[in-house]
Amino acid sequence: MSSVRRSLSRGAVSEHSLHGGDPSVLRRLNSAATLRALRDGGESTLTELARQVGLSRPTTEGVLGELTERGLVAEAPPRPGAGLGRPARRYRFRAEAGYALGIEIDAHRVRLLLTDLAGEAAGGHRADLAVDGSPAERLAAVRAAVKTCLADARVDRPSLWAVAAGTPGVIAPDGTVAFCTVVPGWEGVNLARELGRSFSCPVLVENDANLAALAERWRGAAREADDVVCVHAGLHTGMGALIGGRLHRGRWGAAGEIGMLPELGLRDTTAALITGTEVGPEAAGAVLAGIAEAGPALDDAERLLDAAGWGGAEARTVVERLAARMARGIAAMALALDPEMIVVGGPLIRAGDLLVAELRRQVRPLCLSPVRIEASELGDESVGLGAVRLALDRIDEDLFRVDRSAGDR
């Protein structure tokens, strides 16, 4: 982040300091600083804003006029009972000026989350996908789900300012699924381009565990932490890392894929359990027997762990074996990064405290540090929520950019 961009979070800058005195840059800086103050600080009067941003009242008034014209600022309704005389006008950030859409696509389901520019939920939808469908069929189902979601929320397509999608696998910088063992036929699909056909706004694609990490940092268990490993536990166990409060994607988008090492046993975690290749029927007992014929679909894993949560001795054994299979991979990531905390989320976390407690017991002895291991509180929503965060970050980039005309948006 440049010095100029950084300064936006503090206030406006004067003409002799950072930007060489270019008046259009100065205007954009002041506009961005005012907009940020309104968005982050809530409704304000002209006087409050001018003081906060460090501009004169006439300059602030001009900036507010321009932001109102762009649809980003509106006058707020007067506060009742605010004293005698005419109350001072109050201004607010128009969070409803645009929307962000987050999409989670995995082997058997698509989930959507729609929010306004302030990240407040404005809609959502979920639909089943055929596990053995072709990429084209999968994409068609995603498009149909988007259509339903927008119609239900009464949001028209041009009001979408950014879309982000999360999916298992390694996502190359251009949005291609470079590697994926979980979704059949997904490898080689340029998901950014394919989804991009449906939208006129920017479309971003990211690994699902990476998005879960963004969500934990935004609204989950990692709000106060800068260095975090997020474990997304599903059919395959994925991991994402935040370093210095930012998502660490890696050079080719492949960071966190430590589970690829066969020694660490993260691949097809639950598949191995359910089909019995890992623990055998005698260990998984009655729980396994009931679902064995259904094969390694995610729903079964969830049922398995729901059953484990009910507390039978056999179910507990299954959770212990599952934790054992995940422990070395999680410990490897903890040893590599020595994070402040590890957050365990994803579909399997329905097993909740039981799985997390087992992981604490099994991961810690492998580590050199007294690493904190916490359960996600976001439930199934973490990937979609992280996708929305990524889309909002992209919108912020556009909104607060100062190196082009502010009127471009």
Site residues (vs a second copy, CB under 8 A) = 3, 6-7, 9-11, 13-18, 54, 170, 178-179, 227, 241, 243-244, 246, 248-261, 263-264, 328, 331-333, 335-340, 366-371
For the chain, count helices (H), then strands (E).
13, 15
Smallest distance from a second copy to CB 13, Å: 5
Closest CA to 38 of 17, 58, 8, 15: 8
* Shorter beta-carbon distance to a second copy: residue 126 or 248: 248
* Shorter beta-carbon distance to a second copy: residue 29 or 387: 29
Smallest distance from a second copy to CB 331, Å: 6
Smallest distance from a second copy to CB 297, Å: 25
Instruction: Tell me how far apart the alpha carbons of residues 371 and 226 are, in angstroms, rounded to a whole number.
Output: 14
* Shorter beta-carbon distance to a second copy: residue 173 or 280: 173
Smallest distance from a second copy to CB 21, Å: 10
Smallest distance from a second copy to CB 208, Å: 16
Look at strands 203-207 and 160-167 and give their pairing: parallel
* Shorter beta-carbon distance to a second copy: residue 263 or 408: 263
Q: Which residue type, as a one-letter code, is found at position 291? A: I
Distances (CA, A) of 351 to 240, 246, 303, 309, 383: 20, 29, 9, 6, 18
Closest CA to 259 of 244, 270, 243: 270
Distance of CA 252 to the CA centre of its chain: 19
Instruction: Tell me how far apart the alpha carbons of residues 216 and 240 are, in angstroms, rounded to a whole number.
Output: 11
* Shorter beta-carbon distance to a second copy: residue 124 or 250: 250
Instruction: Tell me how far apart the alpha carbons of residues 315 and 311 are, in angstroms, rounded to a whole number.
Output: 6
* Shorter beta-carbon distance to a second copy: residue 85 or 244: 244
H/E stretch holding 50 reads helix 46-53
Q: 251 and 263 in contact (C-beta within 8 Å)? A: no
Smallest distance from a second copy to CB 324, Å: 13
